[in-house]
């Protein structure tokens, strides 16, 4: 609960697991499929089911979301496809969402009527952080909704300090 007595749920979607496990192999295959311009929603639907179960279980007043690379792509899928998440979403910080340049891949699948209330809400709530240090950003399509913040730093320490400052914290 927050200081105001609100129930707050934070959902973090992990990126690609580079291990010789079932999840690791599935993640790498999903990355390769997205890179090839294919968009198989099977793995993303599983994450959506877990997201919706967490919202039902915890009954939050609002939800914040984050994810990196494949995790950011999964978060975008859930944000777009899940009505419970849409109705509770307050903020989403997505890092280096993976996709293809030119509007192909997952971002294209989430085309919205730009005059709709849903587009306005998601465009305000979702922030895509892109860095030149991450290969996912080099292959990312323009997002279907949300703001893009370019974090152009030469080191991850500088990037972290800028990110903390951008999100309203104090950089040390």
pLDDT of residue 44: 79
pTM over cut 0.85? no
Take residue 151 and report the two structure tokens written for it: 């974090």
pLDDT of residue 90: 94
| Burial of 28 from C-beta contacts in 10 A (0-12 / 13-18 / 19+) | middle
H/E stretch holding 34: helix 22-35
Strands (E), the chain: 8-13, 62-68, 89-95, 126-131, 147-151
pLDDT of residue 99: 61
Q: Which of 87 and 154 is assigned the larger pLDDT?
A: 87
DSSP state letter for 22: H
User: pLDDT for 20-53, tens place per residue?
Assistant: 767 667 767 776 666 666 666 667 788 899 999 9
pLDDT of residue 17: 72
Task: Report which of 40, 54, 116 is spatially closest to residue 85, judged by C-alpha positions.
Answer: 54
Check: CB of residue 133 under 8 Å from CB of residue 106. Answer: no
Q: Which of 51 and 80 is assigned the larger pLDDT?
A: 51
**SS3 assignment, position 52:** helix
pLDDT score of 57 more than 70: yes
- N- to C-terminal Cα separation, the chain: 27
Check: CB of residue 141 under 8 Å from CB of residue 103. Answer: yes
Rounded Cα gap, residues 27 and 133, in angstroms? 21
pLDDT score of 170 more than 90: no
User: pLDDT for 91-139, tens place per residue?
Assistant: 999 888 876 433 444 455 556 677 889 888 998 999 988 877 676 666 6
Rounded Cα gap, residues 6 and 146, in angstroms? 25
pLDDT of residue 76: 87
């Amino acid at each position: 609960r927050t200081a105001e007595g609100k129930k707050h749920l934070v959902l973090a979607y992990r990126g690609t697991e580079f291990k010789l496990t079932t999840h690791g192999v599935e993640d790498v295959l999903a990355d390769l499929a997205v890179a090839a311009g294919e968009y198989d929603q099977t793995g993303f639907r599983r994450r959506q089911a877990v997201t919706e179960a967490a919202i039902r279980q915890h009954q939050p007043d609002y939800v914040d979301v984050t994810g990196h690379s494949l995790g950011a792509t999964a978060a975008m899928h859930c944000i777009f496809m899940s009505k419970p998440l849409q109705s509770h979403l307050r903020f989403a910080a997505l890092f280096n969402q993976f996709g293809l340049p030119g509007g192909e891949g997952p971002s294209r699948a989430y085309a919205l009527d730009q005059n709709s209330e849903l587009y306005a809400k998601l465009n305000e709530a979702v922030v895509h952080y892109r860095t030149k240090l991450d290969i996912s950003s080099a292959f990312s399509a323009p997002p279907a909704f949300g703001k893009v913040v370019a974090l152009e730093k030469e080191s991850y320490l500088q990037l972290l300090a800028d990110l903390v400052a951008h999100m309203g914290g104090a950089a040390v």
